[in-house]
Amino acid sequence: MVTIGVICAMDSEFDLIREALSHGEIQTVGRCEFLSAERAGKRVVAATCGVGKVNAAVCAQMLISRFGADYVINSGVAGALSDRLRILDLVAARTVFYHDLEERLLQKYFPHCSRFPADERLASLVEELAAGQGVRCVRGEIVSGEQFVTDSAVKERIARETRADAIEMEGAAVGHACYLSGVPFAVVRCISDGADDSGGMDYDTFVGHAARRCAKITLGLIDRI
Ligand code: ADE
């Protein structure tokens, strides 16, 4: 049976997924809890990893090494970097990479990969699911770093340096771990804010709606894989 790993950083991003998998069982590995359940003929192992790249990478690696995940999906909210994204739009990652780690440093040991390519079939499925639910979806570049950005000047600098579409704090670490193990992955994010001076207020207003919207797409993706 195919095993799909799902990672959310926060409880609000995980709530709908937990509800959908509530018939499953909890397994604890170290300090991490994994909810494991069958859905649509697949084994789904899902977890809340906490915010940040290390939490996300460790969780992805546990899903791969301990649970044998054949696919990993990272689902949650993001800030918009590019003008083509509005609040509550969906982003299906084409690639994920870091905005706070110089690409040339990563390239020394892995010359071809400092940007981690998401699985194209999974990204296409996300686009189809979004269209089916009447949600605007952009396939694009997502950057991750150890910073919650709510400052227009910082946003502009990161947008200029990376040319990415959206910013969050875990996707690249999940993609990185999956890349090293050769596991196909998807990063699916819904825009909760513009990562600018009003980003904090927008986030508070929209995070719940954006998180639920993204989780719904992720459940659809699980069913379609
Ligand atoms: N996740 C959601 N919004 C974000 C932002 N503005 N910066 C970093 N991560 C985010």
Whether the CB-CB separation of 37 and 21 falls below 8 Å is answered with: yes
- The Å distance, Cα 203 to ligand 1 centre, comes to 8
Q: Which two tokens stand for residue 131?
A: 């269209």
**pLDDT at res. 130:** 98
Reply yes or no on whether the pLDDT at 109 is more than 90: no
CA 26 – CA 113 distance, rounded (Å): 35
- Tell which phi-psi region holds residue 68, choosing left (phi > 0), alpha (psi between -120 and 50) or beta: left
Q: If you take atom 6 of ligand 1, which residue's CA is the nearest one?
A: 195
Task: Tell me, in angstroms, the distance from the centre of ligand 1 to residue 111's CA.
Answer: 29
Spatial CA neighbour of 170 closest among 9, 4, 33: 9
State the distance from the centre of ligand 1 to the C-alpha of 42, rounded, in angstroms: 31
Residue 101 has pLDDT above 90, yes or no: yes
CB 116 within 8 A of CB 175: yes
Entry pTM: 0.97
Q: How far is the CA of 79 from the centre of ligand 1 (A)?
A: 4
Query: How confident is the prediction for the chain on average, in pLDDT?
Result: 97
Instruction: Work out which ligand 1 atom sits closest to the CA atom of 168.
Output: 9
- Residue 206 C-alpha from the chain's centroid: 17
207 C-alpha to center of ligand 1: Å?
10
How far apart (Å, rounded) are the C-alpha atoms in residues 195 and 191? 10
Kindly list the catalytic residues.
Answer: 13, 193
Who's near 110: CB < 8 A, 6+ residues apart? none
Q: Domain limits at 78?
A: 3-224
pLDDT digits (tens, 9 = 90+) for 141-166: 999 999 999 999 999 999 999 999 99
DSSP 111-142: TT-SSEEPPHHHHHHHHHHHHHTT--EEEEEE
pLDDT, position 112 = 78
pLDDT digits (tens, 9 = 90+) for 165-191: 999 999 999 999 999 999 999 999 999
CA distance 212 to 16: 7
In CATH, what number is assigned to the domain containing residue 11?
3.40.50.1580
pLDDT at 74: 98
CA–CA gap between residue 80 and residue 57 (Å, rounded): 23
Question: By alpha-carbon position, which residue is closest to atom 4 of ligand 1?
Answer: 79
Q: Which ligand 1 atom sits nearest the alpha carbon of residue 199? A: 6
Q: Are 159 and 199 in contact (CB under 8 A)?
A: no
> Is the pLDDT assigned to residue 108 strictly greater than 90?
no
Give the residue whose CA is nearest to atom 9 of ligand 1.
168
Q: Count how many residues are written for the chain.
A: 225
* Complex ipTM value: 0.99
User: Ligand 1: residues within 6 Å at CB?
Assistant: 77-79, 148-150, 167-169, 192-193, 195, 199, 203
Q: Which of 190, 192, 198, 214 to mutate to test the pocket of ligand 1 (most atoms within 8 A of CB)?
A: 192
How many structural domains comprise the chain?
Answer: 1
Q: What is the model's pLDDT at position 63?
A: 98
Query: At 37, is the secondary structure helix, strand, or coil?
Result: strand
pLDDT in the model for residue 126: 98
SS3 171: helix
Check if the beta carbon of residue 162 is closer than 8 Å to that of residue 97: yes
Instruction: For residues 111-127, give the mean pLDDT.
Output: 94
Amino acid at 97: F
Residue 115 structure tokens: 């940007």
Closest ligand 1 atom to 203 CA: 3
